[in-house]
Amino acid sequence: MNTNNKLQAVLFDVDGTLADTEQDGHRLAFNAAFKQFDLDWDWDIDLYGELLQITGGKERIRFYLEKYRPAELNRTDLKEWIAGLHKTKTKHFESLMEAGSIPLRPGVARLIHELRREKIKLAIATTTTMENVTALLRSTLGEEAIGWFDVIGAGDIVPLKKPAPDIYHWVLDQLKLTASQCIAVEDSENGLKSALAANLPTLITVSGYTRSQDFSGAVAVLSDLGEPSQPFTQIAGPALEKGWVDHTILSNWANR
């Protein structure tokens, strides 16, 4: 029987954390949707890095309009039009996933399988859509992988997205656990702020777009989760004896 001070659940972000989906996944899917809508927009790598400061795909489109295409804001059906554009983008992203174009990051599959063996609950807390989560898990871990997660908090299930803590509060409520019984795994400053605001100890594995962000308050900052054959690079936090994250290390961080 688990006691209250034993790690009982690991809460994963998705984009940039489970897989490096942003640059060669979501960005390409947005551009494909723009083309389908006969828009001459092109979100290049640098611009998309700027837009990633806004969490949520529909919110990102609106921010882009406000800053770069203000005339588009005059549409009478603006909210519905953005939703339709985003839905088309999601279909393009799912196609990329189904083609196996985006693998899981180092250590992710290993850690998920280990946590299952140790009977530690798995959860997802993300601003991306449920369709995107499903497509990624199915294409990388198999059809049955969705059922491995006790709770999946995704998309518009809460009104305020990261850095607000709402998605983490929702997931914790569904798990019926306290923050002290869990640990979050994130890749971005917004994700860290969200998890910390929910009082969750948080591990950061940086991704291409987030490397230079401020991760003050994280239990550790690593290049990735690491593998025995491919150790992570430690960027911040107390020195670790081995180069891959396992359930014991997560438990120690959660109980600090």
Q: Mean pLDDT over all residues of the chain? A: 94
Catalytic residues, which ones? 13, 15
pLDDT tens for residues 178-215?
A: 999 999 999 999 999 999 999 999 999 999 889 999 99
Lowest-confidence range among 3-17, 61-75, 137-151, 237-251?
3-17
pLDDT tens for residues 214-241?
A: 999 999 999 999 999 999 999 999 999 9
Span 164-184, average pLDDT:
97
| Residue in the block written with tokens 């489970």 | 18
| Residue in the block written with tokens 């828009």 | 39
- Angle (CA) 51-54-60 rounded to 5° is 65
pLDDT tens for residues 44-101?
A: 999 999 999 898 899 999 999 999 999 999 999 999 999 999 999 999 998 998 888 8
Cα–Cα distance, 130 to 103 (Å, whole number): 18
Q: How far is CA 26 from the centre of its chain?
A: 12
Q: Look at residue 2 in the predicted model and tell me its pLDDT.
A: 43
Span 2-21, average pLDDT:
86
DSSP 8-state symbol, 114: H
Cα–Cα distance, 131 to 103 (Å, whole number): 17
- The pTM of this model reads 0.88
Cα–Cα distance, 79 to 181 (Å, whole number): 39
| pLDDT surpasses 80 at 166 | yes
113-120: Cβ within 8 A, 24+ apart: 114/246, 114/247, 115/10, 115/247, 116/148, 118/247, 120/7, 120/8, 120/9, 120/10, 120/247
Q: Look at residue 3 in the predicted model and tell me its pLDDT.
A: 46
